[in-house]
A and B are shown apart, each in its own frame.
Chain A
């Protein structure tokens, strides 16, 4: 087994850590900046992925669509007030092709609503492709494959 490049590993893990904290801090307007312009972001049930079915609850195939999600969330959508908390595992780099890296990491997304109780809201994994450019990693695609296929109430904030 080949040695993992510690620099690459660090870039991917740093991106994931910053990504989680960005969402958890509520800095949603910054969230699209983790992606390249021509990106694909999906939130999809594991039962669909396992059965070869493509339907996702969020499917954004441009950075503009990510921005639209955030604007809608800020101004249009009505959902329970909540805090998010991402716990993200160290990434496993599954492939390297030139300046593109494939990686996977597990996540647990905790949610705390106004009743004050913290619940495991969504658990799953990120299956990613990242572009490494000038020592910075950006997401080309992120597929959030969730095990928690029973979504509590609704899913407004990105994972």
Chain B
């Protein structure tokens, strides 16, 4: 039986050998990182064709991370979405609580094969940081996680989890003190320690080969979900939806559906306080082509090419860039990207909690808010698949403050 678990893009068309998805992607990196990035690309090419690697990864995904993740129908939630049927892909049930573990386990195996003894990573919400700290604990690798100072405050639980797992967490105090600045600092670390350090990049962005590599490790999400929904409903969904910050969970879900022309692909970006306020992180909706963190994609920038500080209530989506394959899918019209405000996402978070008994991450709540809108558009015959990319435990402090949940105990 063919494995679901590691199926690198079977079409094999994109990116090009130079790492381009149409006009987007590439390698905009300092010379000091070129040989390291080339080494990752060469090692990854070898692994793609190596059945031992696929077996090793499958063993970890099944017996350690708990894959395949469930597909859950959400009928009481769907009542609020015009009666369309809504299915949730439960990446929140993976070990560590989000989709991030898929990519981490793949890249930790890659780092081991390259003989690296130290791993650095960036994290926004802390989900990638926790997953990385987990993978490093499992394989005995030294782990340093960079996290914006603001994010260390709003995701304090995840800081404690990373430290419990033995990782060093460094609060980044530069710039907007969020995900973008954590990536800057992780790059600075990597340049200085590249001989023994692997940069375990957490989203499907960055210089080639990271956008393709991270996507391939997350393809399992869509491959599983596509099979599961065919088994359960007997047909493909009309639309699939995911939240988009850097875009790793979205590309992981979308990719298996790319050849299915009848399936519309929707990415939901954070509109923060509203697109008109300028306080958002809706890169594909409001940005322009530019270069950030090693690749050409859409970025939020001013007319001089200075990167604009983004805003979102969700630390994991609070990023002024996006993976280059999303930029490509937007430009060719294969995927559609919309923006969801903080308020709409928080309402969706509460609604899913109360109708289905599932507390989603604030990131994933953006996809849920988008799904409510899509469901009403599709009507009662509609069939919708939503990626529930992570669970909301880490967000309880933010949610409690937002909804005034602490006040009842005063």
Q: Do A and B come from one complex?
A: no
